């Protein structure tokens, strides 16, 4: 059942676009300023109605198919249910981005952007919770020479990574109550720091590391 969650999300995204399509202007300016106020808005950013309505859902569909194709060619079967959740989270992020930016373009209230970043924070916490369940693979996780060559190093690294992502998610949810752009910035910075710190700390665990 988990395998079909992304398909349901994508179908819902297409249905939403079809529902609001008749009310869209011929050219639609995406509401990027709701999430990225440092990017100057311009009339040149406006896209044709069909592109604005269906480009991101199509991107989500391509991502899902690419993940499924990669899964059939790599060693993710050892943690298949966890990998399915990772795919659902990635697709869910893309779908939410479409909803909030297109919603802002048609006049949704400002709190919807904060709700979006709050859900991103929750998604990061879920991702952090499942990271320790992953195993060495080329699709999901921190893929370095050390982690891919030693399952114990992978395990320790992703236990650290998961813990830091949990903290990042909590910070993003808290920032969402104040400002969506700061929350989104915090998500990006926190994700990067989580990866760097996890890789650095796992180096001190020796060839077969373990957490207390």
Residue pointed to by tokens 């990669």: 70
- Dihedral (C-alpha) 191, 197, 200, 204: value to the nearest 10 degrees? -130
- Paired with 47 in beta bridges are 28
The pLDDT value recorded for residue 212 is: 42
Structure confidence at residue 181 as a pLDDT band (50, 70, 90): confident
The mean pLDDT of 25-39, rounded to a whole number, is 73
Across 26-30, 69-73, 87-91, 135-139, the highest mean pLDDT is recorded for 87-91
Residues 34-55: tens digit of each pLDDT: 677 666 666 566 788 898 889 9
Q: Are 25 and 49 a contacting pair, CB within 8 Å?
A: yes
Q: What percent of the chain has pLDDT over 70?
A: 87
Any idea where the domains of the chain sit in the sequence?
A: 1-107, 109-212
Mean pLDDT, residues 63-86: 81
Provide φ and ψ at 42, rounded to 5°. -150, 145
What pLDDT does 211 receive? 43
pLDDT higher than 70, residue 200 = yes
Residue of higher predicted confidence among 209 and 82:
82
Q: Given this model, what pLDDT does residue 102 score?
A: 83
**Range 181-209 average pLDDT:** 82
**Are the C-beta atoms of 147 and 138 separated by less than 8 Å?**
no
SS3 48: strand
What whole-number percentage of the chain has pLDDT above 90?
A: 42
Question: CB count, 10 Å around CB of 71?
Answer: 19
Q: What's the pTM? A: 0.84
pLDDT tens digit sequence for 114-169: 899 999 999 999 999 999 998 888 888 888 888 888 889 999 999 999 999 999 99
Q: Give me the count of residues in the chain.
A: 212
């Amino acid at each position: 059942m988990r395998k079909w969650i992304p398909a349901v999300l994508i179908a819902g995204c297409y249905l939403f676009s079809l529902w609001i399509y008749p009310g869209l202007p011929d050219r639609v300016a995406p509401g990027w300023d709701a999430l990225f106020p440092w990017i100057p808005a311009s009339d040149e950013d406006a896209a044709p109605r069909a592109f604005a309505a269906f480009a991101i859902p199509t991107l989500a569909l391509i991502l899902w198919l690419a993940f499924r194709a990669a899964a059939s060619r790599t060693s993710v079967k050892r943690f298949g249910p966890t990998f399915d959740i990772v795919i659902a989270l990635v697709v869910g992020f893309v779908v939410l981005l479409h909803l909030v930016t297109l919603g802002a373009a048609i006049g949704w209230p400002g709190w919807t952007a904060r709700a979006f970043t709050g859900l991103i924070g929750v998604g990061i916490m879920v991702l952090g919770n499942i990271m320790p369940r992953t195993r060495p693979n080329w699709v999901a996780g921190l893929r370095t020479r050390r982690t891919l060559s030693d399952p114990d190093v992978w395990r320790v690294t992703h236990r650290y990574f998961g813990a830091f992502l949990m903290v990042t998610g909590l910070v993003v949810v808290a920032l969402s109550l104040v400002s969506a752009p700061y929350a989104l910035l915090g998500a990006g910075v926190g994700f990067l720091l989580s990866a760097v710190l996890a890789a650095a700390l796992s180096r001190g665990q020796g060839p077969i590391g373990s957490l207390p």
